[in-house]
Amino acid sequence: MRLRLVPETTNIDFFRFWKATFGISIVAMIVSLVLFLTMGLNFGIDFRGGTTIRTESTQAVNVGTYREAIAPLGLGDVSITEVFDPTFGADRHVAMIRIQAQEGEESVSPAVVNSVEVALQAVDPAISFTSVESVGPKVSGELIRTAVIAVIAAMGAILVYIWLRFEWQFAIGAVVALIHDVLLTIGIFSLLQIRFDLATIAALLTIVGYSINDTVVIFDRLRENLIKYKKMALRDVMNLSVNETLSRTLMTSGTTLLALIALLILGGDVIRGFVFAITWGVVVGTYSSVYVAKNVVLMLGTKRDWSKPDAGAGTQFGKADA
């Protein structure tokens, strides 16, 4: 007996309210952009600058105890991670403590670093401080530029791939869906003021990959059905294609969300922002594959020249394996 999330055959009209759903998506993108421009993002140490303190101790690192000791100092964004290395002996325990630059200062002052050291020595007398490194605003600015370039380059590469594999209408639909996913993720981070750091950029790139994978699966089925049902209206072919891939879409999204929700609840503060971004991205990415990418293709139309044997299959790369 096989588990089915949806019936074997479905006939849901996903495009019954396609103008309303596409309009909602456009409004959501605009709202996200306004939130970003007005509220901004809660940048982490990677983008704001700050100081990293490396500690060593003969006692095991207790991240919770370290955080409780530093919390009364009111230093804002403090990241504490234990460093694992196979070359470390049994009595060598290393941690990295990252403190954001304080308001009006380019880096953490020596007085603040000293207060952190005193607080940690109170809970672990055996602790020593092996290095203190600062990240200034110039380096942080370069990280922001590099992160933006990485996201734009990923979308550009996907645009070219979809254009070659299908047609330009499909490429535009896919990229609009990706922009939708990235903007909505940035918007929710701005609204909730969740810490935005390099891990979040990694999550954005993961979202882009997940979303385009789901979109390409449906596009592949759409292309097959465009050839199979030559006289069927484009909207009906799209509806059929989404219904035929619905079980796969829900199964993939559902199993991914199960793992992500477990990490979101039990994973701890260090990875919570990263996991939240991917969880949100899976939801909006699944939505955009159906209600954004396909709507753009529906509005632009697609080539259906049946005078050639491979008409409607896309460009000369249309039958290439993914």
- Domains of the chain (ranges; CATH) run 18-42+140-300 (1.20.1640.10), 50-135 (3.30.70.380)
Beta bridge partners of 43: 196
- Long-range pairs for 62-71 at CB < 8 Å and ≥24 separation? 63/95, 63/270, 65/123, 65/124, 66/95, 66/97, 66/120, 66/123, 66/124, 68/123, 69/119, 69/120, 69/122, 69/123, 70/97, 70/116, 70/119, 70/120
Distances (CA, A) of 99 to 51, 53, 103: 5, 8, 12
H/E stretch holding 256 reads helix 246-266
pLDDT of residue 139: 59
Residue type, 151: V
Residue type, 94: V
Q: What are the pLDDT tens digits along the chain (322 aa)? A: 555 666 667 777 888 888 888 889 999 999 999 999 998 888 777 777 778 888 888 888 888 888 888 888 888 778 888 877 777 778 888 888 888 776 656 567 788 888 888 888 888 888 888 888 776 655 566 777 887 888 888 888 878 888 887 778 888 888 898 889 989 999 999 998 888 887 888 888 888 888 888 888 888 888 888 888 877 888 888 888 888 888 888 888 888 899 899 888 887 666 788 889 999 989 998 898 888 888 888 888 776 553 454 444 444 444 444 4
CA 241 to chain centroid, in Å, comes to: 26
pLDDT of residue 293: 86
